[in-house]
Structure 1
Amino acid sequence: MNRFDIPGADVLRARQRLVLDHFRDEVVQKWDDVLSTFPHPHYEIVPTLTVHDGDTAVRGYYHDTRVAFPDQHHEIIELRHSADAVIVEFWLLGTHRGPLGGIPATGRPFRVRMTGYFIFDEHENLVTERVYFDSLTMLKQLLGHVSIKRPGTWLTAVRALRGLASLSGEPDRRLLETTAPADLSD
């Protein structure tokens, strides 16, 4: 298959069902079921330049995000198909109840628009979930109550800055060292 060959309706329906099951099982935190949608779990979180590769790393990602946002859930906006992916636009929602990396819980809700690319290989295996979102939108919602004009929020501001610094670890090279597809001349 090349980049212009869209699979038939049966393949697209099967992909869509797998992606919707994946979303549903994430919300109810059935991690074994979510992980069973991949032969090898692999998440790429583009705004943070992080990759969670393999069962242990992905389970760690699930744990950390659900400690931070135990009520995390989504609202699907649109679902589209491409030659090798299901592309989902969705709202991610939750309440900041635990630490997000080094950022202390604020108790504030968030609602952030995201796009997830669920990429399939030539055997119709889900091989990657790649997520894009504006991290500043999320941080503004979580830390919107912090102001240098309000001394009562200064401690939270200092903790949040320290937390942000701890999140800015070394970017995953796999998200930085990309190459253009060879067949773009068509």
Structure 2
Amino acid sequence: MSRFVLPSEDVLRAREQLVLDHFHDEVRQDWDATLSTFPHPHYELIAQMTVHDGDTEVREYYHDTRVAFPDQDHEIIALRHSVDAVIVEFWLLGTHNGPLGDIPPTGSKHRTRMTAYFIFDEQESLVTERIYFDQLTILKQLIGGVDKRSPGGLLKLGRILKGVLGEAGTAPDPRLLETTPPGFVR
């Protein structure tokens, strides 16, 4: 497959529909439908350097993020096509009403701009959803709603800081570190 030639319009339309269905089913929290968009579910969260691979790990990821943000939603900004991917820019939205890993709930809302690469193989199967975002943007919004003048708010900030520090010690997934530079011809 040449990196300079896009697939046919029919292929691009089919990919786009699959990605839109995937987004729609995630918001509805219909995990069976969402997972059916992959032959083998695989998420890569670049900001956290984590991989969720396979049905069980991806379902755990869905569960954990919806416990933290039960009202999670999105607003698509733009959708683009490449030779092997659909690239979606979107706002991720949600209210932090449950624990996010070691970070206790703040009750704050966030609206964070993200980019997701939905990567397809030669058989036009979705093989990876690779998501890029800035964790600090989310954290700033979650902390922003905490009352920093009250004793309870200060206690919550301490628990949040402890949770953030606990999350910071996680080693990156080696699958995200082992990359091979492409052989560009000059």
Q: What range describes the TM-score normalised by the shorter chain of this pair? A: over 0.9
Which residue identity lines up with residue 66 of structure 1 in the other structure? R
| Conserved 8 A contact 2:107-2:145 | no
List runs of 5+ in structure 2 lacking aligned partners: none
Name the counterpart of 1:127: 127
| Conserved 8 A contact 1:69-1:94 | yes
Map 1:86-165 to 2 at 5 A: 86-146=86-146, 151-165=151-165
Map 1:65-76 to 2 at 5 A: 65-76=65-76
| Conserved 8 A contact 2:96-2:108 | yes
Identity %: 67
Deviation at 1:181, TM superposition (A): 1.4
Runs of 4+ off more than 3 Å: 145-152
**Structure 1, 77-86 or 169-178: larger mean CA deviation:** 169-178
Deviations 1:38-94 (A, max 9, x none): 000000000011100000000000000000000000000000000000000000001
Which residue identity lines up with residue 67 of structure 1 in the other structure? V
List runs of 5+ in structure 1 lacking aligned partners: none
TM-score normalised over the length of structure 1 = 0.95
Which residue identity lines up with residue 180 of structure 1 in the other structure? P
Name the counterpart of 2:30: 30
Deviation at 1:154, TM superposition (A): 1.9
| Conserved 8 A contact 1:76-1:88 | yes
Q: In the comparison of the two structures, how many residue pairs are matched?
A: 185
| Conserved 8 A contact 1:145-1:153 | no
**Structure 1, 145-154 or 109-118: larger mean CA deviation:** 145-154
TM-score normalised over the length of structure 2 = 0.95
Q: Is the counterpart of residue 59 in structure 1 residue 56 in structure 2?
A: no
